[in-house]
A and B are shown apart, each in its own frame.
Chain A
Amino acid sequence: MTSTTETSKPSFIQRWRSLHSREARLAWYLILPTALIVFGVVIFPAIFSVWISFREVGLSNLNDVFNAPFVGLENFQKVFNDFAFKFQGMQSWGAAVTSIIYSFLATTLTVLIGLIAALLLNRPFRARGITRAIFLFPYVAPIVSVAFVWKWILDPRPSGVVNDVLISLGIIDLPIAPLATRGLALVIVIIFEAWRYFPFAMLMILARLQAIDRTMYEAAEVDGANTWQKFRNITLPELRYVLGAIFLLRLMWTFNKFDDIFLLTGGGFGTKVLPVLTYEFSFKLFDFGRGAATAMILLLILVIFMALYIGIVMRNVEEE
């Protein structure tokens, strides 16, 4: 085979083309295993999950899932009418509203704290390297460990640190259980998210900060600008796009997060978000159809976020 192609002496264009197609074939071979796994474990299941959301699937017919009976929108109706899902006034927000409020507040706080941390680390000082590494600890440590340390710090028993500190400061008289108090639990979970994920925002912001042209600050100093004015008129505008990008990325990830809330509160005391509800429908009640329907609703809200992300952030970054 190879000898015939060599002896036939094709024109330059033909050879270029065959090299090109050979390269393309090689590329497909190289990427095929990854593509197959990604398709098999992500894309196909994603489509399959739409299918499941319209079927009645329980533990009994899980082994025969392709013949599961079609129930139309019944699963979605069940979800919308579920007390854990629907909004019923300020006392009980329901998972959809809680999810949205929780992810917006947690993301805002994460980005804000990340910004402060980045500004702190942007000025030179001794031991900056190690400080920067320490700042990343909450983000790289396993979620299970940090969630349980927080739980243990917030423990309602007398040996819990937070209770001890608050009592000796005279703020409270009797020990409280912050993670088992409606309202307070959501606040704690939001603070936890900011504590754990601010390093991600910090690193992205820091990278952008260090790329800002020094001469702009020098020019502003010559014009007599103070620190705040420099921050307001130079730093913030320069950071605008990166802040927007981080916000939307973190918003989507926070919206999808299951582990954090599940480990901290188990979804109780007003912290039930859509991922936790999906898990409960599927693996506590074993109603996989209803679980899939909940996941679809979650995905739908996520797609709106994604559209915003692509529409606003990506375009701005390209223009930049």
Chain B
Amino acid sequence: MSASYTSTVEKRSFIDHMAGWINWSRFLFAIGLFFFLTSILFPFYWMVSSSFKTTAEIGAREPVYIPSALNMEAYKELFDPNHPSYQDFGGNIINSMFVAIPTALIAVILATLGAYAIARLRFRGKNIMLNSILMIYLFPGVLLIIPLFAMIAQIGDRLGFQVQDNLPVLIFTYLAQTLPVALYMLTNYFRTIPSEIEQAGLIDGCSRFEVIWRITLPLAIPALVSVGIYTFMIAWNEFLYALVFLNDHNLFTMPIKINTIYNDPSPRPHVVMAASTIMTIPIVILFLSLERFLEEGLTAGGVKG
């Protein structure tokens, strides 16, 4: 008896609860959230699921929403040397790494030095320098590529290296795109470290470099990591400069290779999607694992564009 009594009470209170819970604002909220989540997640689902489809499923009379099996056909074309239209995508991944990792490392090292100077030391022309570096943020990349191309061609002629199909040249141009961002983010971070800590170090007889090396840098590791990841992402994703500077298929970075596969006369969307998946996953994993760090950087304009 008492058991059934309690259950009706629970039931009523549940209905009451539901009635109290659903109102217009919650309803709109739920709809809005659903709309956002589907429109964001569907393209990503479609990218991953399409990469596992067979040629027949890709070219079917209507879209196949769920691939019949985890078919590796597309990935085989990318990685299996025995495949008739083998793409050697592994080489493209290595090229992208070869460009993105040095860009990130050099940008972080140089920007750390520069940002420390701007945040801590007093010197004339500091604000003009910071502001002019920030202005670059607003510069169109397409404006710079023509003079850069001509300039580096000149320098290359004198020093005897090729401008096109030269990955170090590409790294050099990426530095110009990443350094301002890195400098800006790190300057902001160094300003949050109290200078009293450093002054204590100076009073104890450390030199400036010892202070930077032993006190400031260890404190700034989170910022250094997130700036490194940003610059890595910028270089990893970059399209225009790679498109202009690279002609040799063996040197293509991933974005250019994917563009080439897409524009192939025989369309193979599943292969494009497989390559896109490979390119996207590291970025999303990096981002999710370091989200807290990175979000601050995003609001600081970490990813230009």
Contact = CB atoms under 8 A, between A and B. Distances in A.
Nearest to B298: A203
B213 to A, nearest CB: 13
B305 A257 contact: yes
Interface string A119-138: 01001010000010111111
B43 A142 contact: no
Interface residues of A, number: 92
Nearest to B111: A34
Contact of B142 (A31, A44, A279, A306): A279
B279 A145 contact: yes
Interface in A135-189: 135-146, 148-153, 155, 157-161, 164
A204 B298 CA distance: 9
B218 to A, nearest CB: 18
A126 to B, nearest CB: 11
B295 A120 contact: no
Q: Is the interface of A mostly helix, strand, loop or mixed?
A: helix
A34 B113 contact: yes
A158 B62 contact: yes
Interface of A: 20, 23-24, 26-28, 30-31, 33-35, 37-38, 41-46, 48-49, 52, 57, 62-63, 65-66, 116-117, 120, 123, 125, 131, 133-146, 148-153, 155, 157-161, 164, 195, 197, 199-200, 203-204, 207, 227, 249, 252-253, 255-259, 262-263, 275, 278-279, 282-283, 288, 291-292, 295-296, 298-299, 302, 306
Nearest to B233: A140
A152 B269 contact: yes
A24 B124 contact: yes
B258 A45 contact: no
A69 to B, nearest CB: 15
B37 to A, nearest CB: 7
Contacts of B157: 63
B110 A37 contact: yes
A291 B150 CA distance: 13
B280 A142 contact: yes
Contacts of B237: 142-144
Given A37-B110, A41-B173, A57-B150, A145 B258 contact: yes
B280 A145 contact: yes
A159 B110 contact: no
A133 B114 CA distance: 31
Interface stretch (B4-12, B70-78, B281-289): B281-289
Contacts of A306: 138
B29 interface: yes
Contact of A65 (B150, B254, B277): B150
Contact of B240 (A37, A152, A258, A295): A258
B151 interface: yes
15 contacts: A26-B208, A28-B117, A48-B150, A66-B154, A131-B37, A134-B37, A137-B41, A140-B284, A144-B279, A145-B47, A152-B46, A197-B305, A200-B298, A249-B301, A278-B142
Given A140-B233, A159-B58, A302-B140, A28 B46 contact: no
Contact of B44 (A43, A62, A141): A141
B4 to A, nearest CB: 32
Contacts of A143: 237, 239, 255, 305
B39 A137 contact: no
